[in-house]
Structure 1
Amino acid sequence: MLKTLLKIFKSHQTMTLFIYGTALALLALSLWVAFQYVDPLPPTKVTIATGGPGGSYYDFAQQYADYFKKQGYELEVLETGGSTDNLALLSDPESTVQAALIQGGIAAPEDHPNLESLGSLYYEPIWLFQSARLDTATLPDLRGKTIAVGSEGSGTQHLVSALLAENDVTPDTATLKKIGAGEAIPQLLDRKIDALFTIGGVGSSSVGTLIRNEDVNLYSFTRAEAYTRTHHYMRKLVLPQGGIDLVENLPDHDITLLAPTANLVVKDDLHPSLKYLFLLAANEVHGKGDLFAAPGTFPNGDALLFPLSSEGENFYKSGPPFLMRYLPFQLAITIERLKILLIPLLTLLFPLFKITPPAYRWQIRRRIFKWYKHLKQLDTEAYEMTCKEDAQRMLDQLEEMDRMVLETSVPLSYTDYIYSLRLHIRMIQRRLERIMGETKEDTIT
């Protein structure tokens, strides 16, 4: 029996490992369960559909890619034919494209329920250049004319065709050529076509070329206010006198323009952290403003093609998440996603800190007190013992017990329990020694 007790209670390290190991196992289990509800880390690569090289979408996407690279992510820039192609790729469930730059007004939100806007990025003015021989007061005056409306599949072609149709300028009432500005400009200058539409920034080479040609006039949208009331994705802009070139005073008078906004559109299942990364990149690239927008105007949540994502709402209302303002992006999202783990961690740590030390103390005392069960049995037997042989046999057991108790390893703070137990062993030994008529030194060995 004594050897069995020795095997069970020989080392306090085993019990310590059991108590604290159980606590750690419970903590690890709760963290694992909580971790199932934490968003996984975002993929390190994402693809954005833009347009052709040299276009504004492509150029801006390259700037986004540079920003992504600084944050440790790869943004693949995919060349496309323009907004319509981008929308098709983004809507295709088999496509790897997860984001795109798309011109406002080319789609209805209800037709693409899986898409979200992260914001408007900048104004894209609609430029109508026409032959100087024309006298166009309103768009219906273009009936019977030959007009370049943008290349097939482009956002320009889609928006301009719809705008002209509202003014009864259709393939039945005019000749609409689906060609881009690059192909249309020589034809306009050679009087093969009467007018062309293009959509682009003030710095567009097409705009710069045509506004300097005396045989071409830039149309001013006199009814711009009416268009903005019926098309909420459009805005009325004023190109001020000299806005393109102060030296040449181009234009020589204020021009009223219509402008949709370029939208940054993503799939709704794109990782939330990547949505914030796109927003940060857009703010970096477009936040400086241009001729039509003061610094800080873009990006914003106005004139959107699709519903604004929840990340976009938070971004425009309160700015980027707190940690993203002061920490590198990867570190910020790692800490952010682990916040949910603090709930089970704090919930469990408090009771564990309260319960574990008492449980540990109880286990240490229990290991010592269990000796008393055997000791009490020997004490009862010794009380009525008269046979010297039995007394000697019990003395031998007590001697062995005393040795094993002495060898029992406990923390120093619990050694008083050991010595108290040995004193009790010694009391029984004295009684047995009296039975045997022996005298031994009254010390604890």
Structure 2
Amino acid sequence: MSRIRTFSQFSLRDLVVTAGPAIVLIAALCAIAYVIVDPAPPRHVVIATGQENSAYEQFGKLYAQALAKDGIKTTLSRSLGSQDNLQRLNDGKVDVAFVQSGSTDEAESQRQGLVSLGSLFTEPVWLFLREPVQITQLNQMKGLRINLGPEGSGIPKLFRQVLALNGVEPADLTIGSLENTPATVELLGGRIDGLVFSSGPDALLVQMLLQTPGVKLFNFDQAEAYSRRLPFLSHVVLPRGIVDLGRDLPPQDYHLIAPTATLVARANLHPALTELLVQAASDIHGGAGWFQQQGQFPSARYTEIPVAREAAKFYKDGAPLLQRYMPFWVANLFDRLWVVVVALAALIIPFSKVVPPLYVWRIKSRLYRWYGQLRAVEQALDEADGPRRAQVCAELLKRLDDIEARVNRMSIPLAFADGLYGLRSHINFVRQRVLALNQAAA
């Protein structure tokens, strides 16, 4: 039985030889499709944050921690603020940045190839003044020493617009351009009368100044009017006692004007990274806060920059199905496999029509070459004449015996056994011709 299996088993070697080139070609093309058509997301991202002790810097650290859970290394690039972040995005120095609403417009962001990953939180404009300064309207600020921060931040541009609505020119003030931390030192030292910056309430600087004796927060009584005149601003209220209920800080409700912080990326950011960043934003900013309700942020609203397709889909339908149940890299692998599936379908279907006939031809070609040998024997037999006929017949009989012996050792799958037995009967047929002619010659 073992010998029968040896001579009649399925010919794996013939199948490999026949289908091997097609398999290698399919694997190579699938690998090329996997790498080139839809490359894997990068494992490093650069995020531009903000000034020291700003809310942007604090949130940047939270994003770095969230991305690190999925093996993404994050470099946080401290900056002057919103305008500086926009410039870094336009120059391609960073991948993602925090940008304040009102810093650009839709046409400019499209021209620069920027997309929004969603608005994250409102960041009120904080105008802190020394206690001796008594003003209730911004038009009373003439002659004061006010720090607006460096030009790379968003506040100088925004606050000049606010001053213009009150008929105040920048030349009417002594304007400083220090960063927030040194400006705070100057305010506490009495060398300036006030400082303006925009930040979320979680910023350490905001928390400190709200509790510092001798420093008071300006109340924008006309906040609703400002939000109507400047659409990128919102009217928010800092509730009484929100900082410290026991000490009743602040001692009253404060009306504030607030742009919105937006997470902005370059349009060529990998879609998988976009999805990961938006999910991180949902975890970080999705809760209730001083100025927001549960689930209000992050959002595709409150931004003048076009929202990325993946981000808009997330805000509408939630996280992708696979990422709800699988680790990020596993879900991304399955998500990218559709490219390979398309490539396989495009190649396997035509190859499935070609490989089986090639396999059949290869098996039968072993039989066909012996038919060539039989044809050569018959031609030699037809050409034999005269006194050499008996000698030629004897040689041809030995040749036929050799052919038959080799054919008997040939391995042929059972599906092709009829061809093998047909060849053996034809060998015997030629042998009978040779014997008949040999007897006639004798």
Instruction: Classify the TM-score, shorter chain.
Output: 0.7 to 0.9
Per the alignment, in what secondary structure is the counterpart of residue 86 of structure 1? helix
Counterpart check, 1:257 vs 2:256: yes
Q: CA deviation at 1:383?
A: 8.7
Query: Counterpart of 1:46?
Result: 45
Per the alignment, in what secondary structure is the counterpart of residue 172 of structure 1? helix
Letter in 1 for 2:154: G
Query: Counterpart of 1:306?
Result: 305
Alpha carbons 1:131, 1:191 under 8 Å: kept: yes
1:34-183 paired onto structure 2 within 5 Å: 34-35=33-34, 37-93=36-92, 95=93, 97-112=94-109, 113-130=112-129, 136-180=135-179, 182-183=181-182
Identical amino acids, percent of aligned pairs = 34
Query: Counterpart of 1:225?
Result: 224
Q: CA deviation at 1:185?
A: 5.2
Give distance in 2, aligned partners of 1:188 and 1:26: 71
Instruction: Return the TM-score normalized by structure 1.
Output: 0.83
* Structure 1 residues 212 and 99: CA distance shift in structure 2, 3 A: closer
The more displaced of 282-291 and 222-231 is 222-231
Letter in 1 for 2:117: L
Return the match for 2:420 from 415, 418, 421: 418
Deviations 1:295-323 (A, max 9, x none): 32222122225322222222222233333
Query: Counterpart of 1:396?
Result: 398
Alpha carbons 1:152, 1:179 under 8 Å: kept: no
Give distance in 1, aligned partners of 2:423 and 2:206: 100
1:284-363 paired onto structure 2 within 5 Å: 284-304=283-303, 306-363=305-362
Give distance in 2, aligned partners of 1:167 and 1:99: 35
Give distance in 2, aligned partners of 1:367 and 1:430: 23
The more displaced of 54-63 and 246-255 is 246-255
Instruction: Return the TM-score normalized by structure 2.
Output: 0.83
Q: CA deviation at 1:245?
A: 2.4
Alpha carbons 2:120, 2:285 under 8 Å: kept: yes
Give distance in 2, aligned partners of 1:179 and 1:232: 28
Query: Counterpart of 2:4?
Result: none
* Structure 1 residues 26 and 203: CA distance shift in structure 2, 3 A: closer
Letter in 2 for 1:128: L
Letter in 2 for 1:417: G
The more displaced of 67-76 and 333-342 is 333-342
Query: Counterpart of 1:406?
Result: 408
Per the alignment, in what secondary structure is the counterpart of residue 284 of structure 2? helix
Alpha carbons 1:244, 1:251 under 8 Å: kept: yes
**Matched pairs, number:** 426
* Structure 1 residues 236 and 375: CA distance shift in structure 2, 3 A: same
Letter in 2 for 1:20: A
Give distance in 2, aligned partners of 1:204 and 1:53: 10
Per the alignment, in what secondary structure is the counterpart of residue 232 of structure 1? coil
Alpha carbons 2:52, 2:181 under 8 Å: kept: no
